[in-house]
Amino acid sequence: MAHWFHRNPLKATAPVSFNFYGVAASPAANKICNDLRMSRARLLEMFTDVTCNPEIMKNATDAYFSLLQGFIASLDGTTQENKMRFFQNFKWTDTLQGNTPSAQQDAIFELVSMAFNVALWYTKFASRLTGKENITEAEAKEVHRSLKIAAGIFKHLMEAYIPRLITPAEKGRDLEARVLDTYIVQSQAEAQEVTIARAIELKHNASLIAALAFETANFYQKADHTLNTLEPDYSSKWRKYLQLKQHFYMAYAYCYHGQTLLASDKCGEAIRSLQEAEKCYSKAEALCKEYRHTKGPGTTAKPSEQLFFLKLGGLIKNTLEKCQRENGFIYFHKIPADAPQLELKASYGLAEPVPFEFPPLSEQCTPEVYATFDLTKGPKDDKAKPKQEEEVKPVKEPDLKPQKDTGCIIS
């Protein structure tokens, strides 16, 4: 299942030294700054380390975020903003808009931008796991959980922290509601794909598979519609992926709904449902070609080359032929002109985001140490010596090497 998921690039950021000369007026304050610099650098390294797993990632994120919150949380017993929140400038690029960074002198901007990358890492880790040959049940559960964790992080940022930014997110940037919404819904939809694959492997009831596929197709449609007001230059490729997945899972829904109808002796309706499945599958095939030829950010998925995709085409064809044979010998039902209206609700298997919370404040960040940060000793503006801008270089991400495709997500 390598190249089954579309992935946008990681956000890139300018280096941050946290060298608060004069401001960090005690050894303990200096240690916080040094630890912030080192934990930030380590976390950034983990994003592209192929040996990194969720446990390592959690340790790295907790180390950095617990310290960074010392510049966000109120430590002086008042309701006023932390005096360090607006001291350091941070620069981050966006997943859709190339290497042009956004900059804000705000520790919350750093918190949400870095956490956004953590969520992206979980989606990429899930994608990398699905590229393994003969993925185990435990690994499939890890994929499922990682995607729900990603959705939970995106959701928490949107609800609890992005509203606190002094400077609102620009249109089409990562921290804007439409983009975040799409990432949340896509992560949920992809998690449900794992559930569907498992339900098929274990030969669960056709009505359950049809309902799950229908709900998943609706998720992809919702994500696509959320992006429809963004600039096509940077959203078209992503939208093509969402559209092809929507039609693919609608084909699944109609196919398995047809099996349910046949089992209920509604052969004519079953044939019409399977004919609609054929249409949706053909549309998904066409969208796969369009997606491959559409320019835009991110890795190019190749779903139409996967056995999981190809098997559905054969399943629809064989099931339709079976229904047509049965109708010619037994039922003699009239085939309805209109496709059945799918009003399927899945009782089980829907993917909900895993609730996310930032780690507690580091024990190093005490009111006593906080008091030793003296902003009056900060560097004075020196217009005669303009400081050179740090370049924001794109993140060099590891290549996904596809392995032999076994045609299923769980072995």
What does the pLDDT look like over 127-175, one tens digit per residue? 999 888 788 999 999 999 999 999 999 999 999 999 999 999 888 999 9
pLDDT for the residue numbered 408: 47
φ, ψ of residue 299 in degrees (nearest 5): -75, 150
As a whole number of Å, the CA-based R_g of the chain is 25
| Residues 373 and 29 sit within 8 Å (Cβ to Cβ) | yes
Length of the chain: 411
| Residues 42 and 62 sit within 8 Å (Cβ to Cβ) | no
Q: Which amino acid is at 227?
A: L
- Among residues 71, 69, 38, 42, the alpha carbon closest in space to that of 58 is found at 42
Summarised one tens digit per residue, pLDDT across range 263-320 is 999 999 999 999 999 999 999 999 999 999 999 998 888 888 888 888 999 999 999 9
Alpha carbon 108 to its chain's center:
21
Mean pLDDT of the chain: 90
Q: Is the pLDDT of residue 407 over 70?
A: no
Average pLDDT over residues 36-60: 97
Q: How far apart are CA 118 and CA 125, in angstroms?
A: 10
Q: How far apart are CA 41 and CA 33, in angstroms?
A: 12
